[in-house]
A and B are shown apart, each in its own frame.
Chain A
Amino acid sequence: MPRVTEKKRVRIDHTCVDSPVYLNWLGVSGGRNYWLFKKKQSLGVSVSITGEYQPYTEDIENAKGFVFNTGVEAVPTITMGARVRSAAKVDISKMRHSLCVQMLMNPLTWETDPSGPVWQVVRPVPGSFQVIETDSKFEVIEITITLPSLNIQST
């Protein structure tokens, strides 16, 4: 049977994972691209106060405070790393300019969950892609992504 596409070489990575962060992003050609980050360096939350007020205090004996927040924004972040071949580093870095990067939220159960894989849109933090170490073949890279911000009450 005649071949109608290129022969695409695909690497199979069997190594074990203990802190999987699996990303899927839209490439400029229109296809999906994937990478598994196995080293979760840190989890964080970036918090900013979006509004506050300071009421006039008449009864200091029973006052609850002087300054109260009216709005808070909290954006979870994950900084993760991977040890990759130099050629793969270039291709993974293209995630930085993808219009849509998604994180797999059910990496351990997606194959059996009725909903299948559940993806959540995340955003790479500009400037956070770094090469931590390099040797002749491999490089350790690190990138930070932000997750959807938390829904918080406001006044």
Chain B
Amino acid sequence: MSVVITADPTRNVNGDSLLQSRWSAVNQPILFGATRQDHPVTMVQQTLGVFRIVLFSAPAGLVVGQKLWLKSGVNNQSVTISAISGVQISLVETNLTAGTLGGFINLTTLRRNYYVSINVYSVDESNTYVYAGTQDVRPAPSGEFSFDVHGYLMSKAAQTDEFAYNVINKKRIKTGSKYNFTIQEFWTGSNTQPSALGGYGTYYWTNSAKQIQEKYNFNVGAHVLFRTIDTTKFMSDFEKPTYFPGFPFSLSFIWSEKVAGRQLQRVEDDFTATTTDNLDAAQATAVNIMMLKGGYATSVDEIDVWLNDGGVAVLNYVGTGYVGITYVEPLPFEEAVKQPK
């Protein structure tokens, strides 16, 4: 065992556990809670007044007199080894409670000066993870600790508008995209390898700032697209924005992982007709900036615009140098006469 995440910044939108938003405002704390759990415990036994921890397997290096931290059922305290017999560790303490609720021990004597390094990564324009920074944390004696990653991600946010306003939609990595982290444990004389990137799941940030008493704390769940709700908000200050023909205009939204692989469509209704246009589905899983269709008749004073889920997206990828299976390129005469018959 190693480090277990016990709290993260996700929030359930509309109180629905199936609508979990993993998107957070990067200008505010993005907090995780975790616990160091060195070794699993199967049960705590009491025999003739002596308490024993029963393990699945005994870690190397344990000797009588060493201290452990025991978390099992209601037991959450430092204990001292009085005897070792295979997977059974007898303890000096007598104020424990026997039980079969599993749990863990932390090897507090064996792993002196224990700390964890949290390495934070964000993605660049090519969807490649890029190292963003490292935070070292020394857990409490019980193994619990928390960490905040927003400071490492804030530098990835761009404040200026870099959209060219020449395509229907485009992802803005510097306005919001995914991040991840690895955890590596250190103690005197040894360390673990960093955990796998993505081993704790994938999370996302946006260049947003939440206000007091806004729902979902620092999570931007109100702007996260889900397939099953139609109340998700565009990221606009205006209740009713104004489009001035001839000038650049956009609406931003979070193309979340919940609708990645879906063909989103921009739908516009000018109250005489509705037009539907496919968005570029390759821009998914980031904050997107989207243009309006434009070219409205002077009789059109207002439109309604929204996004539809148009089904599974068909994404065509063509690599450099790709040629079709039936493609034939004729050789120059000089090369042709050199070929073996």
What is A's interface to B at a CB cutoff of 8 Å?
Answer: 1-14, 17, 20, 22, 24, 26-36, 87-88, 91, 94, 99-100, 102, 104, 107, 110-111, 116-117, 119, 121
Contacts and interface: CB of A to CB of B under 8 A. Distances in A.
22 contacts: A1-B309, A2-B228, A5-B234, A5-B307, A6-B231, A7-B304, A7-B306, A17-B244, A26-B207, A28-B208, A29-B223, A30-B207, A30-B287, A31-B251, A31-B252, A32-B289, A34-B250, A88-B242, A91-B238, A100-B161, A102-B160, A119-B161
B284 to A, nearest CB: 13
A111 B259 CA distance: 32
Interface stretch (B31-39, B46-54, B68-76, B295-303): B295-303
B206 interface: yes
Contacts of B311: 1
**B interface, over-half SS:** loop
B229 interface: yes
Nearest to B299: A14
Contact of A12 (B235, B287, B301): B301
Contacts of A24: 161, 248
Interface in B30-89: none
Given A11-B240, A88-B242, A4 B160 contact: no
A10 B308 contact: no
A117 to B, nearest CB: 5
A121 B160 CA distance: 8
Contacts of B218: none
Given A8-B251, A13-B242, A17-B244, 12 more contacts: A1-B265, A3-B267, A3-B309, A4-B309, A6-B231, A9-B240, A9-B303, A27-B235, A30-B220, A35-B242, A87-B240, A100-B159
B310 interface: yes
B294 to A, nearest CB: 10
B227 A116 contact: no
A104 B247 contact: yes
Contact of B247 (A1, A26, A34, A91): A34
Contacts of B298: 14
Contacts of A26: 159, 161, 207
Given A91-B239, A116-B165, A3 B160 contact: no
Given A3-B308, A7-B306, A104 B248 contact: yes
Contact of B206 (A9, A30, A121): A30
Contact of B160 (A2, A31, A100): A100
Contacts of A110: 165, 248
A4 B232 contact: yes
Contacts of B233: 5-6, 29
B297 to A, nearest CB: 9
A10 B302 contact: yes
A94 B233 CA distance: 18
Interface residues of B, number: 68
Interface string B197-208: 000000000111
Contacts of A6: 230-234, 306
A5 B253 contact: yes
B302 A31 contact: no
Contacts of B289: 31-32
A86 B95 CA distance: 69
Nearest to B276: A1
A23 B264 CA distance: 29
Given A10-B243, A14-B245, A88 B238 contact: yes
B292 interface: yes
B114 interface: no
A148 B264 CA distance: 40
Contacts of B220: 29-30
B121 to A, nearest CB: 21
B209 interface: yes
Contacts of B180: none
B257 to A, nearest CB: 13
B107 interface: no
A8 B231 contact: no
A63 to B, nearest CB: 49
Nearest to B305: A8
A34 B231 contact: no
Minimum-distance CB pairs A-B, first 4: A31-B235, A31-B252, A100-B159, A27-B237
A97 to B, nearest CB: 10
Contacts of B118: none
B314 interface: no
